[in-house]
Amino acid sequence: MLLNQFLLLSAILFTIGVYGVIVRKNGVLVLMSIELVLNAVNINLIVFSTYWGIAGQVFALFTIAIAAAEVGVGLAIVLLIYRNQRSVDIDELDEMKG
Amino acid sequence: MWFFTHVWIIPALMALSFLLILFFGKKMPKKGAEIGIVFVGAAFVLALLTGGNWIAWSNDNPEGHGPAAEGAALANVDPSCSSVAAEAAAVGEGVEQVEGKTAASEPAGAEKGGHEEVATRPVVSCVNWFENGDQTISIGTLVDGQSVLLLIVVTLISLLVHVFSTDYVHGDRRYTHYFAFLSLFTASMLFFVLSENTLQMIVGWELVGVCSFALIGHWWEEKPNSDAALKAFLTNRVGDIGLLVGVIVLYFAAGKSFSILDLNILANEGGISHNLLLIGSLCLITAVMSKSGQFILHTWLPDAMAGPTPVSALIHAATMVVAGVYMVARLYPVFFEGLSISGSSVNALSMIGAITALFGAMLAFVQKDIKKVLAYSTVSQLGFMVTALGVGAWTAALFHLFTHAFFKACLFLGAGSLSHACHHSFNMVDDMGGLRKIMPKTFWTYLVATAALAGVFPLSGFWSKDEILAGTGSFPGTQGANGEYHVMLVMLLLAAFCTAAYMTRTIWYAFYGEYRGHGTPHESGPRITTPLIILASLGAIAGIVNLPAAFDFLPEGAQTRFEHYVEPVGLYFPAITHAGFNPALAVVSVLVGLAGIGLAYLYFFKDAFAGLHGLAERNKVAAFFKNILVNKYYFDWLYTTVIVGFVKGPLARAANWFSANVIDGLVNLVGKTAVGSGNWVYKNVDQKVVDGAVNGAGSSASGVGAMLRLTQTGRIQQYAALFFAAVAILAGVFVVVIG
């Protein structure tokens, strides 16, 4: 079984996703990076399900469904931001500065 | 028995009458007078019935003498209010059969007064008033001859005064309140005479004082009237201290009991030391001096004439002022033992009474106001009663109280009738005269009452005064008196002489000569003259109730009825002896009275002793003495100028200095200290500690906030970076710790 390889793939995907979330300025790309993070988790769940039964795959299906919803909400927010700001640059959204 | 145990109804009726008049009087057609008259009439009827029952009760007394029978006579005393009496009764119960017979055969009882004396059976009933710790204070009624006598006298005089007042104060601005207070006074006086314990006596004593105050000041809008009311009240307060102290002393002396019977039995049987009784009786004498107008606290009584005349007749002649005499008579064993009345020749009580009798009578000579003459006459006659009590002539004192109530009330009401006719003036010298023909009813009743007061045979005053004179035991040949009070006899005879003379003087000024007032005088209406006629008749004939025992030509049971029914015999009354009738003394006393009348008659009516007329204007010595009398022995001057002056002047200044320096200094010191410590607390505690803590909390919160706000950049990616870094660290920690 190629467990180590899959976990390695998952970790790489996660790291790339986190990097994207932190450094990309485009809001849409940030959302896409979040998808990478979620898929990294999904890979983990499915890989472990071969050892501990079907529950991992069920969780993965839930995650995909919720991720679809999350992207829907996220894109709507980004769309509204764009309408207000004429831009989707996240760096400009600092009205919450204390 | 029903009447004796339910005698409380009589004062309760009058109290109810007071409330009814107060609440509904003004709405009634006669403004409340009819309520008062109906109720006092009912009270009088009940009092008469009680009197009749008392006579029947005394008549069917079981025979028997000696201590056992005397104990058994107390069987009708409620044990819950008189423990000592109850004990005596229990002892009497057990041995009555045996000892009663043996004692009856002894002639001891027959020896005393010439006739058999059977122990009186007082009826005492009481209820629990209040309890304090283990001490129970009861309230109740004590019915014996003495209280029944006063019941009848008070209700009778009160009834007549009510009737008289409907005409006399007709149209008065406080007509309804006047009758309300008459009712309250009657209720209080009846409450007082029925007292079962000394505490209850104090309550009644103060209640009648309050009513007296209110009625003297009935026309308070005029300053002298309200002053007189205050003077009466304050002078009585002086004596009330004595009453209070005396009652407290006797309370402890009698083993913590207020019961009159307990106190009397213990005092009588030697259960209380002589010194305690002496102190107690001296304190109570002070109370007598104020309430019964004895020298030197008599000064309020003449001033009390500022009240309406019917009030003077009721309160300041017939009833309230005899409260002191009644109190002494009620607690007689205390005085009899405490002052060692038996077998001596002088004591405080008789001395005060004799001085009052003589000096009061002398003051009546210089008064222009007819009511003031009668007031001093009352003072003097009260002196007679007190002297009688002081020399041991108990029955004579009560008998004089009885007869005096009638003729003195008649004289006062007569004076009221006169002033009613003469435009409400009481000045007989300037505003009266020649009223004999115009007011025949007033004149004749006044004349009869005057003769009774002067002691003319055979009117009632003769009998009672003669008994007092005989009671001094000083006149040669008098048998059976308690002691030999020579000084008292002389002073009383002089007082009797003065009494006859000054009363003749008032008759001269009021009824003879030319009319000196203005307007046309007229005879008063029937509501005024009827009480006068009733009182004058009673004043004339009341003497027959106590004819001397020496009159053995009279039918059986006609002599000394008053003594027989009124004077108690038994454990709660000292074994006093009764002075026999002395014909020589009777002749002397009548001659003294007639001499007074005769000399005054010659002086005023016939203009005799021309050299004496206007003597005071020519002779310095006479002027000196007249001046003393006009100024009433300077007692008022002594009280107002000397005593009150001392209090007002130096004492007030001392008090002011003390107040300004000591008390104010103290107050200022306290104030300054408070301000100083307040300032220190403000500066140090409030500003530094409290404010510091509050400010510190605020600024530290602001400092922390300022530091924390640096992290709040508003950049979402920085938050994400921090979030992931934290997760990574936590994951690392997790792995290390778990692994």
Residue-by-residue DSSP string for B355-388: HHHHHHHHHGGG--BHHHHHHHHHHHHHHHHHHH
Q: In chain A, which residues have their Cβ closer than 8 Å to the Cβ of B710?
A: 98
Place of tokens 């993070």: A37
Find the Cα–Cα–Cα–Cα dihedral B509, B514, B517, B523, rounded to 10°: 80
Tell me which residue range forms the domain holding A77: 3-91
Does B724 contact A91 at a Cβ distance shorter than 8 Å? no
**Phi, psi dihedrals of residue B341, rounded to the nearest 5°:** -65, -40
**pLDDT band of B112, cuts 50, 70, 90:** very low
Give the residue-averaged pLDDT of B355-368. 86
Place of tokens 């300077």: B634
Whole-number pLDDT of residue B107:
39
**pLDDT band of B115, cuts 50, 70, 90:** very low
B62: helix, strand or coil: coil
Closest residue by Cα to residue B414 from B388, B441, B378, B396? B441
Whole-number pLDDT of residue B67:
66
Q: How many angstroms away from the CA of B694 is the closest CA of chain A?
A: 25
Whole-number pLDDT of residue B85:
77
Percent of chain B with pLDDT over 70: 94
Closest residue by Cα to residue B469 from B574, B350, B352? B350
**pLDDT band of B612, cuts 50, 70, 90:** low
Whole-number pLDDT of residue B614:
66
How far is Cα B308 from Cα B168, in angstroms, rounded to an integer?
Answer: 9
Place of tokens 């030319």: B514
Q: Are B583 and B341 in contact (CB under 8 A)?
A: no
Two tokens, residue A89: 């640059």
From the candidates B717, B727, B735, which should be mutated to test the interface with A, based on the most A CB atoms within 10 A? B717
Does B716 contact A23 at a Cβ distance shorter than 8 Å? no
How far is Cα B308 from Cα B169, in angstroms, rounded to an integer?
Answer: 8
**pLDDT beyond 90 at A19:** yes
For residue B472, give every residue at least 6 positions away whose Cβ sits within 8 Å of its Cβ, in sequence order, or none: B387, B391, B393, B481, B484, B485, B486, B488, B489, B492, B579
Q: Are B299 and B639 in contact (CB under 8 A)?
A: yes
B127: helix, strand or coil: strand
Q: Would you give the distance in Å from CA B287 to the centre of its chain?
A: 8
Report how many domains make up chain A.
1
ipTM rounded to 2 decimals = 0.85
Nearest by CB: A95 against B711, B714, B721? B714
Give the residue-averaged pLDDT of B9-32. 86
**pLDDT beyond 60 at B111:** no
Whole-number pLDDT of residue B540:
87
| Count of other CB atoms within 10 angstroms of residue B615 | 14
pLDDT digit string, tens, across residues B176-198: 888 888 899 999 999 999 998 88
| Most confident by average pLDDT, B344-358, B531-545, B560-574, B691-705 | B691-705
Q: Say which range, B3-7, B91-95, B261-265, has the weakest mean pLDDT.
A: B91-95
How far is Cα B695 from Cα B699, in angstroms, rounded to an integer?
Answer: 6
| Most confident by average pLDDT, A38-47, B419-428, B446-455 | A38-47
Is the CB of residue B712 less than 8 Å away from at least one CB of chain A?
yes
pLDDT digit string, tens, across residues B636-658: 777 777 777 776 777 778 888 88
Does A96 contact B720 at a Cβ distance shorter than 8 Å? no
- Residue of chain A whose Cα is closest to the Cα of B713: A97
Q: Which residue blocks in B194-330 are alpha helix, DSSP H?
A: 198-216, 223-253, 260-268, 274-291, 300-303, 309-313, 323-330
Nearest by CB: A97 against B714, B720, B721? B714
Rg (CA), chain B: 37
How far is Cα B345 from Cα B350, in angstroms, rounded to an integer?
Answer: 9
Whole-number pLDDT of residue B92:
67
Whole-number pLDDT of residue B607:
73
**pLDDT band of B45, cuts 50, 70, 90:** very high
Is the CB of residue B721 less than 8 Å away from at least one CB of chain A?
yes
Contacts 24+ apart (CB under 8 A), B638-644: B639/B299
List the beta bridge partners of residue B77.
B124
Closest residue by Cα to residue B580 from B491, B484, B477? B477
Give the residue-averaged pLDDT of B243-247. 91
Q: How many angstroms away from the CA of B681 is the closest CA of chain A?
A: 41
Q: Give the number of beta-carbon pairs within 8 Å between A and B.
A: 34
Q: Which residue has the higher pLDDT, B134 or A6?
A: A6
Is the CB of residue B709 less than 8 Å away from at least one CB of chain A?
yes
Nearest by CB: B712 against A21, A93, A98? A98
CB burial class (10 A; 0-12, 13-18, 19+) of residue B635?
Answer: middle
Find the Cα–Cα–Cα–Cα dihedral B303, B456, B542, B188, rounded to 10°: 10
| Count of other CB atoms within 10 angstroms of residue B658 | 11
Q: Would you give the distance in Å from CA B682 to the centre of its chain?
A: 63
Q: In chain A, which residues have their Cβ closer than 8 Å to the Cβ of B715?
A: 90-91, 94, 97
Does B714 contact A91 at a Cβ distance shorter than 8 Å? no
Q: In chain A, which residues have their Cβ closer than 8 Å to the Cβ of B721?
A: 22
Is the CB of residue B720 less than 8 Å away from at least one CB of chain A?
yes
Two tokens, residue B91: 């002892």
Q: Say which range, B235-239, B486-490, B569-573, has the weakest mean pLDDT.
A: B569-573
**pLDDT beyond 50 at B104:** no
**pLDDT beyond 50 at B113:** no
Whole-number pLDDT of residue B66:
67
**pLDDT band of B63, cuts 50, 70, 90:** low
How far is Cα B199 from Cα B247, in angstroms, rounded to an integer?
Answer: 8
List the beta bridge partners of residue B195.
B141
Whole-number pLDDT of residue B633:
73
Written as one string, the DSSP assignment of B508-567 is HHHHSS---SSS------HHHHHHHHHHHHHHHHGGGGGB-TT-TTSPTT-BSHHHHHHS
Q: Which residue has the higher pLDDT, B469 or A94?
A: B469
Whole-number pLDDT of residue B615:
66
Q: Which residue has the higher pLDDT, B739 or B278?
A: B278
Whole-number pLDDT of residue B192:
92
* pTM more than 0.95: no
- CATH number where A21 lies: 1.10.287.3510
From the candidates A29, A89, A94, A95, which should be mutated to test the interface with B, based on the most B CB atoms within 10 A? A94
**pLDDT beyond 90 at B29:** no
CB burial class (10 A; 0-12, 13-18, 19+) of residue B553?
Answer: exposed
Whole-number pLDDT of residue B186:
92
| Most confident by average pLDDT, A20-29, B582-591, B633-642 | A20-29
**pLDDT band of B131, cuts 50, 70, 90:** confident
Nearest by CB: A22 against B713, B714, B721? B721
How far is Cα B202 from Cα B188, in angstroms, rounded to an integer?
Answer: 11
How far is Cα A24 from Cα A19, in angstroms, rounded to an integer?
Answer: 8
B247: helix, strand or coil: helix
Q: In chain A, which residues have their Cβ closer than 8 Å to the Cβ of B720?
A: 21-22
Does B714 contact A23 at a Cβ distance shorter than 8 Å? no
Sign of the CA dihedral with B393 first, then B399, B405, and B408 last: negative
- From residue B405, give the alpha-carbon distance in Å to each of B375, B569, B650: 13, 25, 45
Q: In chain B, which residues have their Cβ closer than 8 Å to the Cβ of A18?
A: 724
Give the residue-averaged pLDDT of B447-457. 87
The one-letter code for the residue type at B36 is: G
Closest residue by Cα to residue B267 from B220, B194, B212, B198? B198
Q: Helices B526-541 and B145-168: crossing angle, nearest 10°?
A: 150
Is residue A96 domain-resident?
Answer: no
Q: Rounded mean pLDDT of chain B?
A: 83
Closest residue by Cα to residue A8 from A48, A31, A40? A40
Q: In chain B, which residues have their Cβ closer than 8 Å to the Cβ of A74?
A: none
Q: Are B475 and B588 in contact (CB under 8 A)?
A: yes
Chain A (14-33) residues lying within 8 Å, Cβ to Cβ, of chain B: 18, 21-23, 30
Question: Which contiguous run of DSSP H or E holds residue B143?
Answer: strand B135-143
List the beta bridge partners of residue A89.
A26
pLDDT digit string, tens, across residues B204-214: 999 998 988 88
Give the residue-averaged pLDDT of B265-286. 86
Nearest by CB: A98 against B709, B720, B724? B709
Q: Rounded mean pLDDT of chain A?
A: 90
Q: Are B452 and B403 in contact (CB under 8 A)?
A: yes
